[in-house]
Amino acid sequence: MRILAYGVAGWLILAGAYGMVRSRNLVHVTVCLSVAQSGTYVLLLAIGYQWGAPAPVFSPGSPIKLPVVDSVVQSLAFTDIVVSATVTALLLALAIQIHKTHRTLDPDELQSLKG
Amino acid sequence: MLPAAIALPLLAGALLLAVGRHLPRLLADSAALLIAAAVAVLTGLVAIEATGGRLVTWAGTWRPVGIVLVADPLGAGLACLAALLTCCAMLYSRRYLEDAGTHFHVLMLLFLGGMTGFALTGDLFNMFVFFELMGAVAYALTGMRIEEPGSVQGAFNFAVINSLGAYLTLAGIALLYARTGELGMPQAGVALAGHRADATVVAAFVFVAAGLLVKAAVAPMHFWLADAHAVAPAPVCMLLSGVMVELGLYGVLRVYQVVFAGTIPQAVVTRAWVVLGLLTALVGSLMCAGQRHLKRLLAYSTIAHGGLFLAAAGLGAAGPIAGVALGVAGHAGAKGALFGVCGLLLDRHHSVDEGELHGRGGGWREPSCWLFLAAGLLLTGLPPFGPGLGKVVAEEGAWWLPAVSLLVSSITGGAVLRAGLRVFLGWGRRLPPPRPDQTYGGDESPETEEPLPRTPKSMLAALALLLAGSAAAGVTPRLAEWAGRGAAMFLDRGDYLRQALTGAAGHPPATVPEVGWTTSGVLLGLLATAGALAVAALQLRAGEAGVSEPGPLRRLHLGHIGDYVAWLFAGVATLAVLIGSSLI
Amino acid sequence: MSRRARQAVFGTGAAVLAVLFALAAAGLPPFGGDQHPYRDRAVAAALHQATANVVASLTFDLRGLDTLGEEMILLGSVVGAVALLRPRPDEKPHADDKTSRPQQDAVALISYVFLPLTLLLGFDLLVHGHLTPGGGFQGGVVLATGLHLLYLSGGYDALRRLRPLAWYEWVEGLTTAAFALAGTANLVNFLPHGRVQQLFSAGTVPILNILVGFAVGAGAVVLLAQFLTQAITLEGEG
């Protein structure tokens, strides 16, 4: 289970980055960045997991039973998700403007920053 | 006081968004300026107060579960520097980006809040949040001139590389959390202390450092900086170059000192910082000398200086760190003024290409000519001013530092002076139009709504203030004394942990380095300035040959996002090998 | 660099980091173990503050400063996207509205039915954020989604009529400011805590949840509006 959880986390980060290296479209780059980031969600949640422990929310009507899985990493993953959404929005906005000014989104053909 | 310094600009930014539509521009300008000034006063007071002992505040309900904020002289001083630069940038940008309305002000205030939070926090994840806040706002500010092809592409590269770096940092924080069960830097430091530096600790350190080194533009993770600085509006460049890059450096040193210094020996990280710092200084200097795009030239000069700062501060001795602290303050003012003058040139001539602007800057009568050349001289390390004092104090750390510093100062300072002399006084040979494979700085739209008939007084005042601040950093003995104390406290790990965790009063540091001008320092400073003048003269004589970078190096800097991602991974891997190889 | 060189550089770096990461993961405490000191303190603190949702307690109370920063990232990106997507001098809105085409009846019907339900769900998530999974961020996104069902049912015009953007910017700024004020000026959860698992418990957490909900909802509306404007109504010179 350890290999699976951490392996998936590491794999997602590397796969996302590899996608960015090979990408031919900036929207694709943006999505690859999100893929790489999902690796950090998996990593955080894997670290906080505890066998047999329920979710850290004691909803009304349910008994308050300890221990629960690590709520700290869940809070962190939550912040991470918001960050991801906002960065994606900004990148897409920039991609729209890049397309308007360059008429292309292929990084191989963007020629305004050289040397 | 600490939460107020962080929340004030954020609160003001949010309110400004709510009422911004109904606010006249003048009122919005004044409000933003006032808030930045208030933050500067607040953080300045904190910094002075902290020379007698760190200020510790727990933001949160319970002491051991909340977020700890720790202000020491260097952290609070950097926050103060950020606020002062924001003041100057707001003053400078009274006529800027008028079509963006108060959104520009909101973003600048949030940027300030992010930088203040980053400098004052003592919690790793909180640091990541403020890192991202600085980032997200800076990406938007960089891409503000949406009709410029370079601008939006530069902002995109900046955003992708910085975000990817930030996610690696987050992965490092997660590994550290898995190992120690803590997010606070002092708590994690205590949990790690005395343990062997195994692969987990090394990985946590390397990944946490990755994002911060990207922010600090350390080679080979520096590519985004030249793109972003070349295209961002001038007031934004002042902040990016003057303080955001340096905050990355501060972050990585702070994290090492508080969290990892008890586990990974100083000698091991020093080797890594020196190697990476020297590489950065070399790449930055070479690329700087060959630029004819004025803002890119300044950007590479920032990279070179960042490398120098890393190599010196990475030695882990109080003297060099005090020097770097002063150098950062001096550099911020001088570089800010230079970017400001570039903004003026762009407004008047729609170009920042050195060749096109040949002799068109306006000559001796033009105040911006004086500002540009004076700032260039300051940057070379001319005694007795701020950047010079910083360099000579930092140089005392190692025998090879004076030589490296001399080279960097001469080459980058020489390039700045060369560009200034050519643009404003028409000296030197004429440059032919740029080759098609060079970034072209001409034919750019100005950043102001309408061409300004005369340079507004507020702009010149802002630039003069920047320059005066940079100069004053070298001739204010109190400031030097504080920097010395701050550096000693920065390295006093035990005292930091004790103060942060128990709330005890701080002990004065045992030894405080002497910070001030010495005879050899003055001579070294004069030598660097002379070297810069010589480089400038040579480049002016050489004409086109003086402004060409080495081909193989230049071919790496082509604005291709895939390249940048690949080099980011190679850079982090280099750090991993440098740290890991000496621990096995 | 050529594609091959780029991949070689990346591959070398990635290989080193992959090995490092694998070694690091192998050295971590066992997966699913019970060593979580921060968690133990946080759960105890959350129960002390009578907050049934420990994650909400961490987000809005114990580590509220993180959330302030997060809120500001959101605000910053909304403002940033508005600034980046502002019409360029050479662009102007369409004279004719190409979205006034008739909608398909089934889609319109479903959207009309789900519109109030979605809004209700959103408010429910906001109000009970300190008790059940959910909270301000999720509720805000659901609220914004509900509003955009109008786009499916009535077309862009209907959405635009119900969406005076200035108001939403106003709401976004004001609620974020209120959040900043309530969350950090006091630094403590100053309201009475009440009893855990009751609606009126957890002190300031539900209030912050609701403020964040409105801020996130308004922010999402403003953000989506910029992208919709780009896609639908702007025309450039070419």
The model's pLDDT over B455-492, given as tens digits with 9 standing for 90+, comes to 888 999 999 999 999 999 999 999 999 999 999 999 99
pLDDT in tens, B417-427: 999 999 999 98
pLDDT in tens, B161-205: 999 999 999 999 999 999 999 999 999 999 998 888 899 999 999
Smallest Cβ–Cβ distance between C69 and the set B129, B565, B580 belongs to: B129
b vs e for B556-576, b when ≥16 Cβ sit within 10 Å of the residue's Cβ?
bbbbbbbbbbbbbbbbbbbbb
Q: What is the distance in angstroms between the Cα of A60 and the nearest Cα belonging to chain B?
A: 24
Is C132 part of any domain?
yes
Chain A neighbors of C197, CB-CB under 8 A = 58-61
Confidence grade of residue C231 (pLDDT, cut at 50, 70, 90): confident
Residue B353 has φ and ψ, to the nearest 5°, of -90, 125
Q: Give the integer Cα–Cα distance in Å for B32 and B19.
A: 13
A1 token code pair: 């289970």
Is C30 part of any domain?
no
Which residue does chain B place closest to A98, by CA atoms? B152
pLDDT in tens, A39-87: 999 999 999 999 988 888 888 778 888 888 999 999 999 899 989 999 9
What single letter denotes the amino acid at residue B390? G
Chain C, window 115-154: residues with a beta carbon less than 8 angstroms from a chain A beta carbon? 131-133, 137
The residue assigned the tokens 């408010």 is C123
Give mean pLDDT, residues B150-168: 95
Confidence grade of residue C96 (pLDDT, cut at 50, 70, 90): low
pLDDT in tens, C39-69: 988 888 888 888 888 888 888 888 888 988 9
- The pairing of strands C92-93 and C234-235 is antiparallel
- Dihedral of CA atoms A4, A9, A10, A12 in degrees, nearest 10, equals 110
Chain C, window 198-227: residues with a beta carbon less than 8 angstroms from a chain A beta carbon? 198, 223, 226-227
Q: Other C-beta atoms within 10 Å of B75: how many?
A: 31
Is C159 part of any domain?
yes
Domains of chain A and any CATH numbers: 2-54+65-102 (1.10.287.3510)
What was the ipTM of the complex prediction?
A: 0.96
Is C133 part of any domain?
yes
pLDDT at B551: 78
DSSP string for B491-545: H-HHHHHHHHHH-PPPPPPS-----S--HHHHHHHHHHHHHHHHHHHHHHHHGGG
Give mean pLDDT, residues B498-506: 88
- Give the three-class secondary structure for B209: helix
* Record: contact C55-A92, CB cut-off 8 A: no
Nearest to B248 by CA among B281, B208, B215: B215
Confidence grade of residue C238 (pLDDT, cut at 50, 70, 90): very low
Which residues share a beta bridge with B57?
A: B69
Q: Give the integer Cα–Cα distance in Å for C28 and C14.
A: 21
By the 10 Å C-beta count (0-12 exposed, 13-18 middle, 19+ buried), C11 is classed as: middle
| Least trusted range by pLDDT, from B35-49, B248-262, C196-210 | C196-210
Q: Give the integer Cα–Cα distance in Å for B345 and B447.
A: 10
**Range of the structural domain that residue C173 is part of:** 36-235
Which residue does chain A place closest to C50, by CA atoms? A58
User: Would an 8 Å CB–CB cutoff place A84 in contact with chain C?
Assistant: no
Please check the confidence at residue A107 and state whether its pLDDT lies above 80.
yes
* Record: contact B14-C176, CB cut-off 8 A: yes
**Domains: count for chain B:** 1
Give mean pLDDT, residues B6-27: 88
Confidence grade of residue C95 (pLDDT, cut at 50, 70, 90): low
Please check the confidence at residue B557 and state whether its pLDDT lies above 80.
yes
- Give the three-class secondary structure for B571: helix
Is C3 part of any domain?
no
Size of interface B-C (CB pairs under 8 A): 232
Is C116 part of any domain?
yes
Chain A neighbors of C36, CB-CB under 8 A = 48, 50, 67, 70, 72
Nearest to B8 by CA among B114, B134, B135: B114
User: Measured on CA atoms in the order C233, C234, C235, C238, is the torsion positive or negative?
Assistant: negative
pLDDT at A18: 96
* Record: contact C84-A87, CB cut-off 8 A: no
Q: Give the integer Cα–Cα distance in Å for B70 and C96.
A: 58
CB C64 within 8 A of CB C119: no
CB B310 within 8 A of CB B217: no
Which residues, including other chains, have CB under 8 Å from residue C33's CB and lie 6 or more apart? A50, A51
- Best residue of B10, B127, B134, B553 to probe chain C, by most C CBs closer than 10 Å: B10
Q: What is the distance in angstroms between the Cα of C74 and the nearest Cα belonging to chain A?
A: 6
- Cα A51 to Cα A6, A69, B489: the distances in Å are 16, 8, 44
- Dihedral of CA atoms B267, B273, B275, B279 in degrees, nearest 10, equals -170
Please check the confidence at residue B245 and state whether its pLDDT lies above 80.
yes
Task: Fill in the DSSP letter of residue B59.
Answer: E
Is C181 part of any domain?
yes
- Dihedral of CA atoms B305, B306, B312, B316 in degrees, nearest 10, equals 160
What radius of gyration do chain B's Cα atoms show?
A: 22
Nearest to B170 by CA among B221, B210, B199: B210
CB B112 within 8 A of CB B5: no
pLDDT at B450: 67
Nearest to B260 by CA among B173, B131, B324: B173
Confidence grade of residue B523 (pLDDT, cut at 50, 70, 90): very high
Q: Give the integer Cα–Cα distance in Å for C117 and C129.
A: 18
The residue assigned the tokens 């030197």 is B428
* Record: contact A18-C14, CB cut-off 8 A: yes
Which residues, including other chains, have CB under 8 Å from residue B38's CB and lie 6 or more apart? B8
pLDDT at B219: 87
C95 token code pair: 């004279």
**Range of the structural domain that residue B334 is part of:** 2-581
CB C205 within 8 A of CB C130: yes
CB A57 within 8 A of CB A78: no
**Domains: count for chain C:** 1
| pTM score | 0.95
C23 token code pair: 């070694």
